[in-house]
Structure 1
Amino acid sequence: MNIGELAKLSGLAASRIRFYEAEGLISQVGRQANGYRRYAPQALQTLQLIQSAQQAGFTLQELKALMPTEGEHKREALIEGLERKVAQIEVMQTQLAHSKAQLLGVIEAVRAQPEGVPCSMGQKQVLASININP
């Protein structure tokens, strides 16, 4: 299929597809006699994989390191990379839970201020109550 068809099926701009190709993430690309790119059907699956992985938090560099070249099998490297990403997500979840708890505390502190008291009066107390390090 040509890049226009692939763009339509994937929902990505042609420039994004060319970018992924230039980054080495799409390798199933041939050229026609007129120089136009010709993508194998697997290119759509690769693009869907890239999109899903990015939504899961993978960077393009991480993806590039994990994606096998044709005929290559990186099972152990893939498992290690996925486990590493899970560990990173768990750290982020802990940090987010801490931030959420602190923000809920700030909300309660603001609500506890008497009505009519200027925000600037309690601002220092509220900001001092926020612990930056989890």
Structure 2
Amino acid sequence: MKIGELAKRCGMTASRIRFYEASGLIRAVARGTNGYRDYGPETLRLLEVISSAQNAGFSLDEIRRLLPTAPNAWRHEELLAGLKRKVDEIELLQQRLEQNKAQLRLVIASMENGPEELACEERAQWVLNRLREDDDAAG
């Protein structure tokens, strides 16, 4: 299939496909006598894998390391280990986000329930001082 059809079928732009080809994520396809590239169905499947991996949070470098070095030569153990690593990274990020959310809620509650007589700037400083005291008491 030509690059336009491939782009339409996988939901990418032709320029993105060319970028993936130039960066080695997909194999370069020889041009026919008419000057057009003719991609096979395996390229479509590979582009779908790349797109899914990016949506799951994999960087292009991570994807490149996990892709097969030859057609249909997936490295099962490396792929499985890479997927598990990404799950671990996501779980760590979720923990950090939960901590950030909890701290922001504490700041919001402190600002909403702080001394009414303080101006906003003074109240913000009051909240920061309370956070420091809480950190000092916890650490």
Deviation at 1:83, TM superposition (A): 1.1
2:73 is aligned with what amino acid? E
Q: 1:12 to 1:116 in 2, by over 3 A?
A: farther
| Residues 37-56 of structure 1: CA deviation (Å, up to 9, x unaligned) | 11111222211111111111
| Residues 89-121 of structure 1: CA deviation (Å, up to 9, x unaligned) | 111111111001101111111111355742101
**Preserved CA contact (<8 Å) 1:29 1:40:** no
**Preserved CA contact (<8 Å) 2:2 2:37:** yes
2:113 is aligned with what amino acid? A
More moved, 114-123 vs 54-63: 114-123
1:57 is aligned with what amino acid? G
The answer to whether residue 53 in structure 2 is matched with residue 42 in structure 1 is no
SS in 2 for 1:70: coil
The answer to whether residue 78 in structure 2 is matched with residue 77 in structure 1 is yes
Q: Normalising by the residue count of structure 2, what TM-score does the alignment of the two structures yield?
A: 0.84
1:121 is aligned with what amino acid? E
Which structure 1 residue ranges, 5 or more long, are not aligned?
none
SS in 2 for 1:30: coil
2:47 is aligned with what amino acid? L
| Residues 15-50 of structure 1: CA deviation (Å, up to 9, x unaligned) | 111001111111273321132211111222211111
Q: Determine the C-alpha separation between the residues in 1 that align with 2:5 and 2:28.
A: 15
2:40 is aligned with what amino acid? A
**Preserved CA contact (<8 Å) 1:10 1:44:** yes
Higher RCO, Cα 8 Å, sep 6+: 1
Name whichever structure is richer in strand by fraction.
1
Q: Normalising by the residue count of structure 1, what TM-score does the alignment of the two structures yield?
A: 0.87
**Preserved CA contact (<8 Å) 1:2 1:36:** yes
Match of 2:52 in 1: 52
Q: Determine the C-alpha separation between the residues in 1 that align with 2:40 and 2:59.
A: 24
RMSD: 1.9
**Preserved CA contact (<8 Å) 2:22 2:28:** no
Name whichever structure is richer in helix by fraction.
2
